[in-house]
Chain A
């Protein structure tokens, strides 16, 4: 069964420093996608970054990068130069095909609450 594990319930980082949020996944599929979402206190889900299982290079989007280690089944999110506005919940998720005419399943981890200190 597909599963996402985020082992850090909470993380603290000083403003302007880099932080890594851990994510490991479990799937027997060869084709899958991994992504990260940010959820600030307002509750909206903000898409950050996506990595396909066949992508050879790590995905980057501005200050966000995804450290994809396929053999270890990890997809850690790295935020460089943290800002106060980065304080939020962060969710790692995985999409996997189910084989029925384009159906896909998406599962999420429990999330990591990041606090950026001034």
Chain B
């Protein structure tokens, strides 16, 4: 089975802590994405990457950074967590342009910042 794996399903952190959310895919996909999902706001794109060491800002990049040192791994970093970053974080990947368009999602990481 194809798979996108997020390292932690649930995390509780304190304000000011540095937080790493890891995402690994085994489909050799070029494009990977980080979204946050909040009630009433849908999925909002934080950052995405189309190749190793390449990254692009999404619609809400403030307070976040990313790292893609290997093709299969895309990490989201909260340098100094704040309470307004409490959310569900979803990682996803998709293959090259075209095809069925299916985006593969991880199970999500629910982050609570106290």
B75 at the interface (CB under 8 A from A): no
A95 touches B101 (CB 8 A): yes
Segment 16-58 of B: residues with Cβ below 8 Å from A: 30-31, 33, 35, 40-45, 48, 50-51, 54, 56, 58
The DSSP consensus for interface residues of chain B is strand
| Cα separation A43 to B107 with both chains bound (whole Å) | 8
B48 touches A45 (CB 8 A): no
B94 touches A95 (CB 8 A): yes
| Cα separation A110 to B40 with both chains bound (whole Å) | 6
Q: A43-B107, A91-B42, A109-B42 are in contact. Are A103 and B101 (CB under 8 A)?
A: no
Q: Which residues of B contact A95 (CB under 8 A)?
A: 94, 101, 103
Q: Which residues of B contact A45 (CB under 8 A)?
A: 90, 92, 103, 105
Q: Which residue of A is nearest B55, CB measured?
A: A103
19 more A-B residue pairs beyond the given contacts A6-B42, A45-B90, A104-B97, with a C-beta to C-beta distance below 8 A: A9-B40, A50-B102, A91-B42, A93-B103, A95-B103, A100-B50, A101-B50, A101-B51, A102-B96, A102-B97, A103-B56, A105-B56, A106-B45, A106-B48, A106-B103, A107-B45, A108-B42, A108-B43, A111-B42
Chain A to chain B contacts (Cβ below 8 Å), 27 pairs: A6-B42, A9-B40, A33-B101, A44-B105, A47-B102, A91-B42, A95-B103, A98-B50, A100-B50, A100-B54, A102-B30, A102-B31, A102-B97, A103-B31, A103-B48, A103-B50, A103-B51, A104-B97, A105-B48, A106-B33, A106-B45, A106-B92, A106-B94, A106-B103, A107-B45, A108-B42, A109-B42
